[in-house]
Structure 1
Amino acid sequence: MRLKFIEPLMPTLVEKPPEGEGWTHEVKFDGYRSQMAIDEDGTRIYTRNGHDWTAKYGDLVREAKRLGAESAIVDGEIVVLNDKGLSDFTALRRAITRRQHDLYFVAFDLLHLNGRDLRERPVHHRYARAVTELYAENT
């Protein structure tokens, strides 16, 4: 079954994080919000608006094979890190055409895995599943 793009939930940037329990906080990266779809047809990478940019990210597409998933939809951000480990948007734009090996796909969420739609599961369950099923076998 060919997986389709899922419109991502967009975070809200705030001056001060909310207080109390029950909140999940993510780092604000300076990159391209993207979605990686892996299925029997291969790997595709979409922009946050659903445009297919797979051809721009050949190295990331090849690396996705190492995840070992039969099918998956992973929401994340494509970034390039500078010498201080911070995302660098200017370097990202250059890397897409000249230095693809500098690109990183930072995963935020696992929306689908091996035939199962995970969006109804709590986010901490999806994170745990991503670590145990995708990354544990490849480390």
Structure 2
Amino acid sequence: MPVFSRHVAHPVVGFIAPCLPTKTDKLPSGGEWLHEIKHDGFRVIARKKGAQVKLYSRPGNDLTYRFPL
């Protein structure tokens, strides 16, 4: 299923949706597991193509305009 950007009328080419965290009472153990503490805020996915950088939300909405340089 294509992901649509808020500011683009066509699918975001090459967008890869991130893995979503799973809430649990007990963490898995072993050397192959990594864990991340959830802090307030939101994650932004950065995509760089040449000199252009675009920022996306988890579902693929373009957030670049929210972080002007």
Unaligned runs of 5+ in 1: 63-139
Kindly, what percent of the aligned residue pairs are identical? 35
2:6 alignment partner in structure 1: none
What is the one-letter code of the residue matched to 1:11? P
What is the one-letter code of the residue matched to 1:36? A
Considering Cα pairs closer than 8 Å and 6+ residues apart, tell me whether 1 or 2 has the greater RCO. 2
Q: Which is helix-richer, 1 or 2?
A: 1
Q: Which is strand-richer, 1 or 2?
A: 1
Q: Please say if residues 4 and 37 of structure 1, whose CA atoms lie closer than 8 Å, have aligned partners that are also in contact.
A: no
Runs (4 or more) in structure 1 with deviation over 4 Å come to none
TM-score, length basis structure 2: 0.67
Q: How far did 1:41 drift?
A: 5.3
What is the one-letter code of the residue matched to 2:29? E
Q: Residue deviations 1:14-73, cap 9 Å, x none?
A: 222112332111121221122101112511100100000100011xxx4xxxxxxxxxxx
Q: Cα RMSD (Å) of the superposition?
A: 1.8
The DSSP-based 3-state class of the residue aligned with 2:67 is: helix
Q: Residue deviations 1:95-118, cap 9 Å, x none?
A: xxxxxxxxxxxxxxxxxxxxxxxx
2:67 to 50, 57, 62: 57
The DSSP-based 3-state class of the residue aligned with 2:54 is: strand
The DSSP-based 3-state class of the residue aligned with 1:55 is: helix
The DSSP-based 3-state class of the residue aligned with 2:44 is: strand
1:36 alignment partner in structure 2: 46
The DSSP-based 3-state class of the residue aligned with 1:37 is: strand
2:55 to 45, 62, 66: 45
1:134 alignment partner in structure 2: none
